[in-house]
């Protein structure tokens, strides 16, 4: 039988987003599985329809152990598969491929259960977390009702002065001393734009004397800039402001009054909604603290703090068992805090500080624990939505943990593997294009057109650069030559993209860029191979990815052989339900 093979799946995934066969199967698994409830989808052209279509949906196409795969389940499955994971076959062969993928999913379930994956601590912990997250979310949806009216949004817009939009000029320096020196010059009577051209390091606005060229409202600015900048009248200049590694002066060039637009409405609405949701969640937590008789355990908190101060390992079971909070229906232990803290990505938590532990626990763990307890009291865990969702999570997590186990057992990478990949695939490890251009930058399109005509009549580009180019001297040589890679696109935008495409030696422009109008020609465009040292991390990642695909492909082949006696396909039913197109 033909099927959607691991190689076929990998071939369908774009190079930049290939996940590997295991991850690809998991992605497909998320779209539907053999025992999920059938869903009503629009029939495809090659699926049989008509009076018998309902009966055909129930036809069994395959059986794996005691699990049946029906035509309806297959329809729901491939109807949800992303385009990049679709089989490249047509008609009946395409459906056979997708049916085999469903069979493979069931084989992975059988193997996971045989290996006892469902008894591993990491699996049980993950499922407990999924269950908690589902119950917490569902309970909050049922209990927290937040309303924000359109009139409230409009009133806030007017009261906060958000109708005013301002166009600023800016002068950015590397130090506070430089910013104060520039401000003294402005206060002595020099023009802001002239001083900006002398002092500012913000190259995109230099040609306009610091003019940002756009009107912004309070909501467009970082919170720390709103008060000082929107208090300025037209023509006024701010004092130096620390903007993170740099210091800035701002001058108000102009201001206008605008109405409430859709984007601003959504920003204000979202702000109100979040604030009220936080307040409602806090109020709900407080009510549950009283209803469920939440109490801190001072002895447990003291013992936990003391244990960490003496260097007790977080894996110490006696430490992890310490009870920090009691409530009707459960406890919160030191292990709960340690587990949650280990998942923090962007926040550091000093667990040796009892105050920090209390603040974290009562801000995060306590509300969740109380919501779960209240949800259980109301029987939310028995609702079909929860049980079906959790069943799907269990099946997916079984495959996730099985894949982790198999790859850990079978994948190893040697120095020879890495060196061989680098030597045998030189084109994979190239550095970004190094582009050299010669450019003249001017303020207006008319100036650019005039210079372009002069160049076409034979004028020296270097001479014109020296006379007219506004590109900062530190960014080019005297002839207007400069180098960059595609990585510079974030800073120079359209110029980099245009230079990447322009033929070498051909005059290009005028091109409107953020700083004005550019005329340029590409002098060279080169790509060199990265050295082994430079590319080593990329090479190792590639070898790791390839080996994982090979290992999992081989593993699936083994499962098809191992469980062959438990797999039965019904080719007759497949042909009855599906046509060749």
**In the prediction, which pLDDT does 431 show?**
83
The radius of gyration of the chain from alpha carbons, rounded to an integer in Å, stands at 32
**In the prediction, which pLDDT does 289 show?**
97
CB contact at 8 A, 318 and 335: no
| Fold match flag (163-259 vs 432-526) | yes
Burial of 147 (0-12, 13-18, 19+ CB in 10 A): exposed
CB contact at 8 A, 429 and 499: no
Residue range 163-259, CATH number: 3.10.50.40
CB contact at 8 A, 25 and 549: no
CB contact at 8 A, 314 and 300: no
**In the prediction, which pLDDT does 11 show?**
34
**In the prediction, which pLDDT does 578 show?**
65
For residue 208, which of 175, 158, 168 has the smallest C-alpha distance? 168
Round to whole Å and give the CA distance between 358 and 265.
Answer: 38
Burial of 236 (0-12, 13-18, 19+ CB in 10 A): exposed
Q: What is the pLDDT of residues 291-316, one digit of tens each?
A: 999 999 999 999 999 998 887 777 78
Round to whole Å and give the CA distance between 89 and 364.
Answer: 50
**In the prediction, which pLDDT does 377 show?**
96
**In the prediction, which pLDDT does 312 show?**
74
For residue 120, which of 397, 378, 308, 419 has the smallest C-alpha distance? 397
**Is residue 520 helix, strand or coil?**
strand
For 201, the token pair is 């390091």
* HSE value, Cβ hemisphere, 13 Å, CA-based, for 494: 14
Round to whole Å and give the CA distance between 100 and 81.
Answer: 14
Q: How many residues does the chain have?
A: 581
Domain boundaries, the chain: 1-114+412-430+530-581, 119-146+264-312+340-410, 163-259, 432-526
* HSE value, Cβ hemisphere, 13 Å, CA-based, for 267: 13
Cis amide linkage into residue 510, ω under 30° from 0: yes
Round to whole Å and give the CA distance between 106 and 93.
Answer: 20
Three-state secondary structure string covering 167-233: EEEEEEECCHHHHHHHHHHHHCCCCHHHHHHHHCCCHHHHCCCCEEEEEECHHHCCHHHHHHHHCCC
Give the other-Cβ count within 10 Å of 278's Cβ: 11
- DSSP label of 365: I
Give ∠ CA 132-30-399 in degrees, rounded to 5: 80
Q: What is the pLDDT of residues 384-406, one digit of tens each?
A: 999 999 999 999 999 999 999 99
For 115, the token pair is 């290996």
Burial of 263 (0-12, 13-18, 19+ CB in 10 A): exposed
For residue 65, which of 3, 109, 22, 12 has the smallest C-alpha distance? 109
For residue 544, which of 25, 3, 23, 14 has the smallest C-alpha distance? 23
Burial of 66 (0-12, 13-18, 19+ CB in 10 A): exposed
Is the model's pTM score more than 0.75? no
**In the prediction, which pLDDT does 496 show?**
85
**In the prediction, which pLDDT does 6 show?**
37
Round to whole Å and give the CA distance between 246 and 240.
Answer: 10
**In the prediction, which pLDDT does 259 show?**
85
**In the prediction, which pLDDT does 347 show?**
65
Q: pLDDT below 70 — which residues of the chain?
A: 1-53, 84-87, 346-347, 489-491, 578-581
CB contact at 8 A, 9 and 26: no
Give the other-Cβ count within 10 Å of 385's Cβ: 10
Round to whole Å and give the CA distance between 467 and 441.
Answer: 11
Question: Sign (positive/negative) of CA torsion 108, 110, 114, 116?
Answer: positive
Q: What is the pLDDT of residues 111-162, one digit of tens each?
A: 999 999 999 999 999 999 999 999 999 999 999 999 999 999 999 998 888 8
Q: For domain 432-526, which CATH number applies: 2.60.40.10, 3.10.50.40, 1.10.510.10, 1.10.150.120?
A: 3.10.50.40
Round to whole Å and give the CA distance between 364 and 332.
Answer: 11
CB contact at 8 A, 238 and 244: no
Residue 279 is inside which H or E element, if any?
A: helix 262-291
CB contact at 8 A, 113 and 395: no
């Amino acid at each position: 039988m033909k099927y959607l093979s691991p190689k076929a799946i990998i071939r369908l995934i774009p190079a930049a987003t290939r996940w590997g066969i295991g991850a690809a199967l998991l992605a497909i698994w998320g779209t539907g599985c053999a025992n999920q409830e059938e869903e009503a989808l629009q029939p495809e052209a090659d699926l049989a329809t008509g009076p018998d279509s309902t009966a055909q949906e129930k036809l069994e196409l395959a059986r794996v152990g005691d699990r049946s795969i029906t035509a309806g389940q297959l329809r729901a499955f491939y109807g949800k598969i992303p385009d990049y994971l679709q089989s490249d076959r047509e008609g009946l062969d395409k459906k056979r491929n997708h049916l085999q993928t469903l069979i493979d999913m069931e084989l992975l379930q059988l193997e996971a259960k045989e290996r006892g994956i469902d008894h591993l601590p990491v699996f049980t912990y993950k499922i407990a977390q999924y269950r908690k997250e589902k119950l917490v979310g569902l309970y909050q949806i049922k209990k927290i009702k937040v309303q924000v009216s359109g009139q409230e949004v409009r009133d806030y817009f007017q009261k906060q002065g958000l109708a005013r939009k301002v166009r600023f000029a800016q002068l950015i320096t590397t130090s506070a001393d430089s910013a104060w020196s520039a401000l003294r010059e402005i206060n002595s009577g020099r023009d802001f734009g002239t001083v900006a051209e002398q002092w500012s390091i913000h190259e995109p606005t230099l040609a306009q004397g610091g003019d940002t060229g756009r009107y912004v409202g309070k909501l467009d600015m970082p919170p720390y800039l709103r008060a000082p900048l929107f208090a300025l009248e037209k023509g006024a200049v701010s004092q130096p402001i620390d903007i993170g590694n740099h210091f800035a002066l701002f001058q108000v060039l102009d201001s206008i009054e605008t109405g409430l637009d859709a984007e601003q409405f959504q920003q204000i609405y979202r702000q109100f909604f979040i604030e009220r949701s936080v307040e409602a969640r806090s109020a709900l937590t407080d009510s549950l603290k009283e209803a469920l008789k939440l109490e801190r355990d001072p002895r447990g908190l003291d013992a936990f703090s003391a244990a960490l101060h003496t260097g007790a390992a977080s894996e110490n079971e006696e430490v992890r068992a310490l009870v920090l909070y009691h409530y009707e229906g459960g406890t919160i232990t030191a292990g709960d805090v340690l587990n949650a803290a280990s998942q923090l990505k962007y926040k550091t938590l000093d667990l040796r500080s009892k105050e920090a532990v209390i603040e974290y626990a009562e801000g995060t763990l306590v509300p969740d624990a109380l919501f779960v307890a209240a949800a259980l009291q109301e029987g939310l865990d028995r609702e079909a939505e929860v049980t079906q969702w959790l069943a799907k999570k269990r099946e997916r997590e079984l495959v996730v943990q099985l894949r982790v186990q198999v790859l850990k057992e079978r994948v190893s990478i040697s120095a020879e593997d890495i060196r061989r990949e680098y030597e045998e695939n030189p084109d994979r490890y190239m550095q970004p294009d190094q582009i050299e251009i010669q450019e003249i930058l001017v303020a207006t399109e008319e100036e650019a057109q005039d210079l372009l005509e002069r160049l076409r009549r034979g004028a020296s580009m270097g001479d014109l650069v020296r006379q007219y180019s506004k590109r900062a001297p530190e960014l080019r040589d005297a002839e207007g030559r400069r180098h960059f890679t595609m990585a510079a696109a974030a800073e120079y935008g359209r110029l980099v993209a245009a230079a990447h495409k322009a033929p070498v030696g051909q005059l290009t422009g005028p091109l409107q860029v953020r700083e004005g109008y550019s005329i340029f020609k590409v002098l060279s465009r080169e790509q060199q191979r990265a050295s082994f040292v430079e590319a080593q991390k990329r090479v190792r990642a590639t070898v790791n990815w390839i080996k994982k695909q090979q290992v999992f492909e081989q593993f699936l082949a083994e499962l098809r052989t191992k469980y062959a006696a438990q797999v039965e396909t019904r080719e007759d039913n497949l042909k009855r339900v599906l046509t060749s197109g």
